[in-house]
Amino acid sequence: MDRLFEFVVNHYILVSLFVAFLVAILFLESRRGGAKISAQGAVNLINKDEAIVVDIRDRKEFGEGRITGSINIPLNSLKSRVAELNKFKDKQIIVADKMGQHSAMAVKQLNAEGFSNVVRLNGGVSDWRASNLPLVKK
């Protein structure tokens, strides 16, 4: 630990640049996938019928538990099935996946297809489950 402190003191410019780049990368990566919405915020929008949930998990995971009223379009077939969502262009689209890691790619694809009001569920369905919110099983 003494050596680390000594390195930071002796090379403060190098350490400052490293910290600046690290902060920049974290900031850009967090903004890259679009806006996030919490599970509680999603519940409020769904209850007001102002949002639709698109679940991008595969069919097996979708069958194990899904958000009420969600539409299952797996990520690998999203581009070919985007026409199914055209009737929801006036609503907010909430993209949900297992843990919130792949939803950024889906948001990017939907934005490229002309959907402007798309957000991703922060933490995915696992965060939804951790918040003790209901899941429907088939």
State what percent of residues in the chain have pLDDT above 90: 60
How far is it, in rounded angstroms, from Cα 53 to Cα 46?
8
Contact 58, 74 (CB under 8 A): yes
Contact 78, 96 (CB under 8 A): no
pLDDT beyond 80 at 19: yes
Per residue in 46-82, pLDDT (tens digit) is 998 889 999 999 999 999 999 999 999 999 999 999 9
Contact 43, 96 (CB under 8 A): no
